[in-house]
Homo-oligomer: A and B are copies of this chain.
Amino acid sequence: MQTETNIAKFTTPLYLESGRILEPFELAYETYGEISETKDNVVLVCHALTGSHHVAGQYEGDRKPGWWDEVIGEGKAIDTTEHFVICINVLGSCYGSTGPMSDAYPSEAPYRLKFPVVTVKDMIRAQKHLLSALGIHHLKAIVGGSLGGMQALQFAVDYPNFADRIIAMAATYATRPWTIAFNKVAMEAIRRDPRFENGNYARGAFVEEGLDGLAIGRIAGHISYLSPDSMDRKFGRNYVGTDGLFELFGRYEVERYMEYNTNNFSRIFDPMSYLYLAKAVNTFNLSRGYDSLHEAILRIKAQLHLISFGGDCLFFPEEMAHIAQMMERNAQAHQYHEIESDYGHDAFLVEIEKFAHILREALK
């Protein structure tokens, strides 16, 4: 399946939760499969912090397909012979949608740190604009993990009649200080890196040599995406130094993993987008704008499918279970699945076979 990115340009204002206005704005997106005549087969997939709208298929010349290609395609859990799948790059990201390095209209200079703080509520409002523009006013399902799961849940609460089914994975009802603290490592590491220049770095400045601050912050991220047990299994105490255990900078295998993954990442991802998206994760709170979490949850009319993973150390299973318990008490339609996994938070990207049947069943 080959795919290409579409860019939708909006000259209408986008009203943000902060009171600020984003105008104009653009959204990058991809679609897979064919939309039905009655447009009743649309599935919206929401991506995570460092993900993109390139969720499935393969660009010409690329080595790798989209980040959830195992899930989406012909005959797969989200079957593109039946469904029209759309994934939209979130506001604030660096993959084509309007973000801090976009031109601050009418100038041709980037917003940089003048870009407004965007929230999960803002992200889904923007997505709804795009769907309307495409003539899509109702969804069969919304699916997402992590920040994508937050978007799915926020859709369920803010627009109760918009989607029939919500499938939220590895997310929470409100970000806890534990996760905010992990993001703090990244935010401080980026901010204090001299090459960040308080946001005034040149476009493309880090293509050759990634920003150290982003790489360092990403190490903290990777800790939270794994778990103590998954690290034991993956790395143990294996040592990869060349000169024995007694070099100061000799590395354990877990350290090599961190270096490899984060150095690459810091050349690809924009550090300012990282700041803004981490902030969006931090400010996520389903109850904001409602009298209480109970009131927010009560609004949900979609069939809600909650999937958590046993070793998730970023958004713990009990957080998703808490939503399920509230819905149970309200006799709202829902299912809760806690999946045992060796992969911690990353499981929603990796252990597809453990939840593919849930997606398949939910979309029936």
Contacts and interface: CB of A to CB of B under 8 A. Distances in A.
Contacts of A177: 231-232, 234-237, 252-254
Given A177-B236, A215-B188, A236-B177, A18 B182 contact: no
B191 A194 contact: no
A223 interface: yes
Interface in A201-244: 212, 215-216, 219-220, 222-223, 226-228, 231-232, 234-237, 244
A127 interface: no
Nearest to A199: B248
Contacts of A237: 174-177, 285
Given A182-B223, A184-B258, A223-B181, A192 B216 contact: yes
A116 interface: yes
Interface string A241-262: 0001111110011110011000
Interface string A164-182: 0000000000111110111
Contacts of A175: 237
Interface in A1-56: 17-20
Given A116-B246, A177-B231, A178-B223, A254 B184 contact: yes
A333 interface: no
Contacts of A235: 177
A327 interface: no
Contact of A181 (B20, B174, B187, B219): B219
Contact of A192 (B119, B212, B227): B212
Contact of A191 (B178, B184, B249): B249
Given A177-B254, A180-B252, 13 more contacts: A19-B246, A176-B231, A176-B232, A178-B226, A178-B231, A181-B219, A181-B255, A184-B254, A184-B258, A188-B219, A188-B258, A192-B212, A192-B215
27 contacts: A18-B245, A117-B246, A119-B246, A175-B237, A177-B231, A177-B234, A177-B237, A177-B252, A177-B254, A178-B226, A178-B228, A178-B231, A178-B232, A180-B254, A181-B219, A181-B254, A185-B219, A185-B220, A187-B249, A187-B255, A188-B219, A189-B189, A191-B249, A194-B194, A216-B216, A237-B285, A246-B283
